Every structure is written in C-alpha cells, then in structure tokens.
Copies of this chain bind each other. A is one copy, B any other.
Amino acid sequence: MSINYPNGKIYEQSPLNTPKKSNLLLFGKRGMSLEDDINASNAFYLANNVAVIHKKPTPIKIVKVDYPKRSAAVIKEAYFQTASTTDYNGIYNGHYLDFEAKETKNKTSFPLSNFHEHQIEHMKACVLQKGISFVIIKFATLDKLYLLPSKTLLTYWDQQNKDGRKSIPLKTIQTEGFELQYTLNPVIPYLKYVDKMIEHL
C-alpha cells in the first residue's frame, strides 16, 4: 500500500518496503528507502551511545476519534499536515544536528522545489543558533548519496529569484558536500562528515 501526502509524495509503510533477502545479504540494508536507511543508522548510533537523533513524526490534524470499549482509541478522521521543521534532529557530542533527507531521479542537479519555504526558514534559524544543519541527498538513478551543508542550499535558495536557477548542480554538491558510502553498521555513516563540518566551525 502506498499513501499519498497532500503534496503528492508517496508515504511508504516501512514493512512493505523491505528489500528481498538476497539484496540484504549482498548490500547490507541498501535496498531499503533512504528514510529506512537513516533510521537504521540513527538506531545504530543511539545503541552505541554515539548520538541521539530521531525522525520527527508526521504532523497529523486529528478530527474524529472513537473509543471502543476495552480497546485502544481509534482515529477515524485525520489529515496530513505540512511539517514546519526538517525531519531529523538531535544531539551528537554536545552539537545540535538538524537535517532533511531528499531523493531525486535527476542525474545532473538537485531541484530546489524539493524544499518548502518553511523548511528553509527553519534551517536558517538553526544556523543562526549555531546548529549543524545539512541535507542528505540521494540521486536514485545515479545510486549516489551526498551530505550537503545547508549553507550551500541556502545560497542557491536565496539566489533563485535573482539568477533564475531552480536547482543545485551535481558538480556543486560534489565540491561543497561529501559523498556518503554505504557501510554495514551504520548503513549511512553520515556522522563521519558531520565531524568535518564541526572541524570547520
């Protein structure tokens, strides 16, 4: 079953999105969705006392709830709401981390339309408060994964109304970001590159 968010994006139920066993053996957990991979990485970091990072639940507007006798409350009418922040945040050795994960099928650039104004505003506010803010971008067709500091994204975002460029070139992401290689544990070792961001604070 796939569920569409109001913005037309597919909401994927994790259990139905599990890869075939053969993929698991060959590629660790690589067959899973980017969200599943990041959640698995965060679970690994948490279990090993490395960092406490969680995905925020999707905000939902509840309209109607039933209370059947002797069983749990059932939400009977509710609607997806647009999040006012990024999806992930938490703490890593005294540093506040805040990030968003996005996938694209594009091959040469990452479209800025993947972000909402309020997410950008949130990133700017986090940067202002000295947080570590970044995006994990998956180029699905190329099978490439990058960590891009928000600074670059925010520059492109603010320039789009001036120069008309509505995407970040892959080359820029390769130069100003870090390529992430899948490993077994954690699946996506993104904190290695967060360390590099911290070095340059």
Residues of A within 8 A of B (CB): 3-6, 11, 13, 46, 49, 51-52, 54, 56-60, 62, 65, 67, 72-80, 83-85, 89-96, 98, 122, 125-126, 128-131
Oligomeric state, in number of copies? 2
User: In the bound complex, what is the Cα–Cα distance between A54 and B74 (angstroms)?
Assistant: 26
Contact of A131 among B49, B52, B57, B80 (CB under 8 A): B52
Residues of B within 8 A of A51 (CB): 129
What 8 A-B pairs come out closest when comparing CB atoms? A94-B130, A75-B78, A57-B59, A91-B96, A96-B96, A91-B129, A91-B131, A57-B57
Q: List 25 A-B contacts (CB under 8 A).
A: A3-B65, A4-B65, A4-B73, A6-B72, A6-B73, A13-B62, A52-B122, A52-B125, A57-B58, A58-B60, A60-B62, A60-B78, A72-B79, A72-B80, A73-B79, A74-B79, A75-B77, A76-B76, A78-B78, A89-B90, A91-B96, A92-B129, A93-B130, A94-B96, A94-B129
Residues of B within 8 A of A126 (CB): 52, 91
Residue with the greatest number of chain B CB neighbours at <10 A, chosen from A49, A77, A96: A96
Give the distance to chain B from A188, nearest Cβ to Cβ, in Å.
Answer: 19
Whether A75 and B60, one on each chain, are in contact in the complex, defined by CB atoms closer than 8 angstroms, is: yes
Q: Known pairs A11-B65, A52-B122. 10 more at Cβ < 8 A?
A: A6-B73, A52-B125, A56-B56, A57-B83, A75-B78, A75-B80, A78-B78, A89-B90, A91-B98, A94-B129
